[in-house]
Amino acid sequence: MVQRLLHQASRGGVKPRYVLVDRGFWSVDGIRYLPAARVPFLMPVVFRGRKLDDPRGPSATRVFQAQKRSGWARDTLTNAAQRPAPVSMCIKCRNRRGERGRPGREALVYGFWGLKPSS
């Protein structure tokens, strides 16, 4: 889908500096395609793995959801065929202030490639 949309945009003379991708494209194939096409991207992370309240602790991408401080990280996703997809992570922690009846901190996690954030 992303490949077709980028091809359609290039036929129309549009060369995006980067793309904002929906979390529905969070997969090894999707993350591997965009760097191969030399297209910088930013997309929300889909949380997978053991949940935060598991006695063994969180795993996979839920580790980033458990953080209470904003920061940067790197992760490598793998699919069933063991194909790696390296991706940089941006973790933005914010106070919920009782929004939607939930107090405490919330981690917003985004995966990106090809962008050079200043801070």
Q: Mean of the pLDDT values across residues 47-54? A: 91
As a whole number, the mean pLDDT across the chain is: 91
Read off the pLDDT of each residue in 14-28 and give the average, rounded to a whole number.
Answer: 91
So what's the pLDDT on residue 64?
92
Q: Note whether residue 119 is domain-resident.
A: no
In a domain, 23, yes or no: yes
Res 117 pLDDT > 90? no
pLDDT at 75: 93
- Looking at the predicted structure, is the pLDDT value of residue 119 above 90? no
Sign of the C-alpha dihedral computed for residues 72, 82, 48 and 21 taken in this order: positive
Q: Determine, yes or no, domain membership for 118.
A: no
Q: Within a domain: residue 90?
A: yes
Q: How many independent structural domains does the chain possess?
A: 1
Q: Is the dihedral of CA 14, 16, 19, 25 positive or negative?
A: positive
pLDDT over 70 percentage in the chain: 100
* 31 in a structural domain: yes
Domain extent, residue 6, equals 2-113
